[in-house]
Amino acid sequence: MIKKVTCSVNRGTLEESQHEINSVVINQENKVLFQSGEMDKSYCLRSTLKPFQCAASLEKGTDIKYNLSQKEIATTCASHHGEEEHINTVRSILKKINLTENSLECGFHLPLNKENKAKLYSKEIKHSNIYNNCSGKHSGLLAMIKNLGFKTNGYINHDHPIHKHINRYIESLSGARPKHFATDGCSLPTPYFNLFTLASMYIKLISAPQGSTLSKVFNAMTKFPKMVSGTKGFDTFFMQTFKGKAVSKGGAEGMQAIAIKTGNGGYVSLALKVSDGNHRGNYVSCVKILEHLNIINQEESKELSTFIKPNQHNLNKLKVGELVCNILD
């Protein structure tokens, strides 16, 4: 049965706004365990695709050629907060491939990290594309480009040969062809897939045999979860909570993908899209759906409690409401 899932934004005791949630949960046999909204509609994957863009690079031996560490591999999967550890790791990757941050074509934006944001505002440090939350992905892509002998200039263009390699890998892994391609916020091509396809890709990520390309990506992300988002980031917090038993990666416009190793030796995966694109609806909804299916236990629920019913505060830090996920038949 298809459920109706909404995320209510309550002010006081009444609902002020509402986000509709599209989602699917599947197991390792691709059996649908839960569905809400439009599972078959194609959505732009945004940064939920990053682990597989990274895998496409590792498949070509890029990590071996440039001796990339697990920490560096995790950073190429990141939507990082621009903390010093993130910036230094991207610089380390660029140094290994004999490039500088001037080679990054992802564009500039202020980071989430307050310290570096303040330094950029005050011009204590120079504006640089390295502070873009996708600079890790771009440094990994540049490593793949150099590994394959392509030119680095203009790599964001959709007709650059590197994208054929990445798209071929993703089509092979997913068993599907994208309905459409668009341009991501960092200017790279981004495909449209339905939520079931996205969930099945994350099942493959978490269940990959040790030593395989996908297992390298999974092991890096779960060993260095802070590199994937940052301090207080949902993806980081979620993976730290599950201690190597889960992988989580969000994307812009309310996209989220999670895969978890279950206690019975199986795997489950959740792919979710907030209809109106507001990311505040995805974290609370992900946790609520997993809790509803008894995929996470009481201890894990308690650990994730700040995301189950996050309080809403005003500028005076007074509690004025909360986010609540509702699951209806």
Q: What percent of the chain has pLDDT over 70?
A: 100
Closest CA to 208 of 72, 59, 69, 64: 59
| Average of per-residue pLDDT across 249-272 | 96
Q: How far apart are CA 158 and CA 289, in angstroms?
A: 37
Q: What is the per-residue pLDDT for 309?
A: 75
pTM summary value: 0.95
Q: What is the per-residue pLDDT for 66?
A: 98
Q: What is the per-residue pLDDT for 179?
A: 81
Element containing residue 172 per DSSP (H, E): helix 162-174
Q: What are the distances in angstroms from CA 150 to CA 130, 139, 141, 153, 154?
A: 22, 14, 11, 9, 11
Q: What are the distances in angstroms from CA 195 to CA 221, 274, 276, 307?
A: 22, 12, 16, 22
Q: What is the per-residue pLDDT for 48?
A: 98
Inform me whether the pLDDT recorded for 307 exceeds 90.
Answer: no
- Provide the domain limits for residue 256: 4-328
Closest CA to 213 of 181, 251, 170, 256: 170
User: Position of tokens 């989580």?
Assistant: 248
| Average of per-residue pLDDT across 199-224 | 98
Q: What is the per-residue pLDDT for 120?
A: 82
Q: How far apart are CA 103 and CA 78, in angstroms?
A: 18
Domains contained in the chain, number: 1
| Average of per-residue pLDDT across 172-184 | 93
| Average of per-residue pLDDT across 254-278 | 95
**Structure confidence at residue 113 as a pLDDT band (50, 70, 90):** confident
> How far out from the chain centre does Cα 298 lie?
25
Look up the CATH number of the domain holding residue 33.
Answer: 3.40.710
**DSSP designation for 240:** H
Inform me whether the pLDDT recorded for 194 exceeds 90.
Answer: yes
Q: Work out the burial of residue 312: count CB atoms within 10 Å of its CB; fewer than 13 is exposed, 13-18 middle, 19 or more buried.
A: middle
User: What is the Cα Rg of the chain in Å?
Assistant: 19
Residue 299, Ramachandran bin (φ over 0: left; ψ between -120 and 50: alpha; else beta): alpha
Q: Average per-residue pLDDT in the chain?
A: 95
Q: What is the per-residue pLDDT for 196?
A: 97
Residue 149 vs residue 118, higher pLDDT: 149
**Structure confidence at residue 121 as a pLDDT band (50, 70, 90):** confident
Sign of CA dihedral 184, 118, 230, 217: positive
| Average of per-residue pLDDT across 262-279 | 94
**Structure confidence at residue 221 as a pLDDT band (50, 70, 90):** very high
- CA triple 87-89-92, angle to 5 deg: 115
**Structure confidence at residue 301 as a pLDDT band (50, 70, 90):** confident
| Average of per-residue pLDDT across 57-72 | 98
Q: What is the per-residue pLDDT for 1?
A: 79
